[in-house]
Chain A
Amino acid sequence: MLKLGVPSKGRLMQETFDWFAERGVQLSKSGSDREYVGQVEGVDGVELVLLSAGEIPRELAAGRIHFGVTGTDLVHEKLVHWADVVEPVAEMGFGFADLIIAVPACWRDVTSLHDLDAVAARFRADHGFRLRIATKYHRLVRQFLTAQGVADYQLVDSQGATEGAVKNETAEAIADITSTGATIEANHLRILEDGLVLKSQATLWKSHSAGGDCGPLIRKISAQ
């Protein structure tokens, strides 16, 4: 039996179900709405596993699921050398989100990473600690800022409501995902011109280590 891991909640789950349905594969939750057990119709030998989107990369890497639906951002963040352990089967055309770096809109002088770096140097001299960037995407953001030559910052962990970190004075800037930018703006922040770390969307991934005959499912969804 092949296991297909799908986000267990909300819009991402519903859009995943719709995407598969358009390709002749019906996914559904069985039993009550609160139960995380599912069914697959339209292709044989595939079992549905409902998981938190954040756990799907790890399960794919471990080979405990054969396929999984989750964002590019989570796979790139959570899996070191992701291309060695998973491969994208299909970009699904929803769940679009950009991982971006944003600063307070009142920093009129800061519109680029070059500015951020200059301000970070000054901030450290003035405050005695490194300018804090709140994020949950530690690896991606660090790699990006290192490659761009930004120094004198520190990442502080923020697992939710990251946009509020500046107002709460737990960080000076943030790195988070956004689709419309509305939350960023509502929290008096502005995205840096060159602050795009990664473009992400919901993607169907295949595990390299899980084995199994993945052909039938791949043929079924590619046939449409």
Chain B
Amino acid sequence: MSQLRAETARLLAAFEANGAVRVEADILQPADILLDLYGEDIRARAYVTSDPLRGEQMLRPDFTVPVVQRHMAVSAEPARYTYAGPVFRYQDSSTGREAQSEQVGYEVFDRSAPEAIEAEVFRLFHQILAPLDLTASTGDVGLLRAAIDGLSTSDARKAALRRHIWRPLRFQSLLARFSQPVAPKTLGAYGQQIGLRSAQDVQERLAQLEEEATAPPIPAAEIEALTDLLAIRGKLPEALKLLQALTSRLPSIGPAVAHVAARIKALDAAGMDVAPIGFEAAYGLTAMEYYDGFVFGFYAAEPGWPAVASGGRYDALTRVLGQGCAVPAVGGIIRPEYSLRATKGGLSC
């Protein structure tokens, strides 16, 4: 326990040395905001409790939401925060992971060049974790978003694909559906009007379905290019080459690829060796978190371990929590219980 406290203090000090202000967050969080943000999936992962007066409350599943809320309420950019404490998530008994675990985090709200901030956060995590034997993986959700934007298809279909970026199976099934002529649909029989969804809502969607029925399939070449994009993985320099080569087939990803290149340049300029850093275009797409751009994680070779550290960009989350007022935000967390064990090279303690 005292070792864990020391490790937590060491991480906090490292973040504070980089200009972060220490902040706190309540363990008990109102459930409605988290539920609205993360959906039903959070109920399967977070401890929901209730209070006869305040209604449903959640044991903090992460710090990001309270820290963003705090920032949006009181502060101006640029701002850097650090925090430490327990988070609570259900764990399957087979994983051997504890339901209560510690996190030490660092969040940056800054409107300067995005690649510079991403490089700063990644480099700081990399520096802190350098003594450990970890593998760094990175990705960028912005690539897939840009690829979707460039598809030759309707805005409605693009929106449907964008909405399911974080659900790879559903994303693939939508892609398959949109790559074929629309199958004829038998409508339901008429029924008595009940519920909040009005007859007009139904009429509107019926009109959409009619329009959709004649929509041409997304060209096979585009589907193929998108599939190739999702398959890109390698070390940063070679992954960048693959991405650049793909822009001839997926022109819409051009700016996103240029952003990846700028980030690599910023890391390089900061004196980092980018050659051993991994990159996967599909990285971070299964996480519940709201990352919508650069994503990263640091992994130990131990089977069953979570990422020792993870983070990324989450501008969209600030837009939701700020009621339309967004702040560019990049941050991440380190799990001190695991960074501590990785230091000692095993699960023995």
Residues of A within 8 A of B (CB): 81, 104-111, 114, 117-119, 121-123, 126-127, 129-130, 138-139, 142-143, 145-149, 151-155, 166-167, 169, 172, 188, 190
Contact = CB atoms under 8 A, between A and B. Distances in A.
B89 to A, nearest CB: 15
Contacts of B163: 121, 151
Nearest to B205: A109
B35 interface: yes
B174 to A, nearest CB: 8
Nearest to B199: A106
A167 B195 contact: yes
Contacts of B93: 81
A149 B169 contact: yes
A27 B100 CA distance: 47
A151 B164 contact: yes
A107 B202 contact: yes
Nearest to A173: B195
Q: Classify the secondary structure of B's interface with A.
A: helix
Interface of B: 35-36, 39-41, 43-44, 93, 159-160, 163-164, 167, 169-171, 173, 177, 185-197, 199, 201-202, 205-206, 209
Given A106-B191, A138-B43, 11 more contacts: A105-B191, A107-B191, A111-B187, A118-B205, A119-B197, A121-B159, A123-B196, A149-B167, A153-B40, A167-B194, A188-B192
Contacts of A104: 191, 193-195, 197
B44 A142 contact: yes
B331 to A, nearest CB: 24
A155 to B, nearest CB: 6
Contacts of B187: 108-109, 111
A152 B194 contact: no
From B171, B177, B194, B201, residue with most partner A Cβ within 10 Å: B194
B322 to A, nearest CB: 16
Nearest to A154: B40
A190 B36 CA distance: 27
Q: Give the top 8 A-B pairs by smallest Cβ distance, nearest first.
A: A149-B170, A105-B191, A106-B191, A166-B195, A109-B205, A108-B188, A188-B192, A108-B187
A138 B43 CA distance: 10
A127 B196 contact: yes
A105 B195 contact: no
Contacts of B197: 104, 107, 119, 123, 172
Given A151-B164, A172-B195, A129 B36 contact: yes
Contacts of B170: 117, 148-149, 151
